[in-house]
Amino acid sequence: MFLNFGSGFAKLSSLIQILGFVLCAIPVWLIPSQASYAQTAEAAGSGSSDASLSAASTGNSEWVAAWINDLKQSNQRWIQVNLAEQRLTAWEGSTPVFSIAVSTGRASDATPAGVYAIETKYRTARMQGESQGKQYDIPDVPYTMYFSGSYAIHGAYWHDSFGDPVSSGCINVPVEGAAWLFNWANMGTPVVVQN
């Protein structure tokens, strides 16, 4: 396990093999007192392991601002989602490299503010669930990147209301922009969602 302390944050990145098991952690900036961690293990060589590391959802603007400041002082790739502006910006350290209007969750299905990391990526995914008392089933959702449970950044081909909060909680991106973002972001890329 590698811990690099700076500005009160610790960067965690580890790959540990113990007794034939591989435990993986996604690299992300942590404030230990405000983060939760979960991981699963599989026998080495028997398949892929899955790990998730996510910060507690919080609307604390000072806490989120501290993360943004720390990320801007690094060369790390990270994603910022501004809920008030309905805008996603991809950053490399303090340099914005891509920005696009998005649709986040409507008031009844709000996208949670907080600091997360890309946990899984799928070129296409089927999304099913319930929103506003109605079931939905959307096949072939393009360029899906989950960052917290069922919350994802993904392409949306079924509407063009970008700039307005109309989703069921996910961050909807125009398909072309979602393709760019999918190819740019890695597993573990921090996602900062702020009000």
Q: Is the per-residue pLDDT at 109 higher than 80?
A: yes
- Give how many domains the chain has, as a whole number: 1
Q: Distance between CA atoms of 133 and 63, rounded to whole angstroms?
A: 34
| Mean pLDDT computed over every residue of the chain | 77
Q: Is the per-residue pLDDT at 139 higher than 90?
A: yes
Give the per-residue pLDDT at 84: 97
Over residues 99-114, mean pLDDT: 96
CATH number (domain holding residue 121): 2.40.440.10
- In a domain, residue 9? The reply is no
Q: Distance between CA atoms of 146 and 148, rounded to whole angstroms?
A: 6
- In a domain, residue 173? The reply is yes
Name the DSSP letter for residue 171.
E
Q: Which domain holds residue 174?
A: 58-194
Give tens-digit pLDDT for 10-47. 333 322 222 333 333 333 343 333 333 333 323 333 33
Query: Does residue 132 contact residue 108 with C-beta atoms inside 8 Å?
Result: yes
Single-letter code of the amino acid located at 8: G
User: Distances from the Cα of 82 to the Cαs of 6, 7, 101, 173, in angstroms?
Assistant: 26, 24, 10, 13
Q: Is the per-residue pLDDT at 141 higher than 50?
A: yes
- In a domain, residue 7? The reply is no
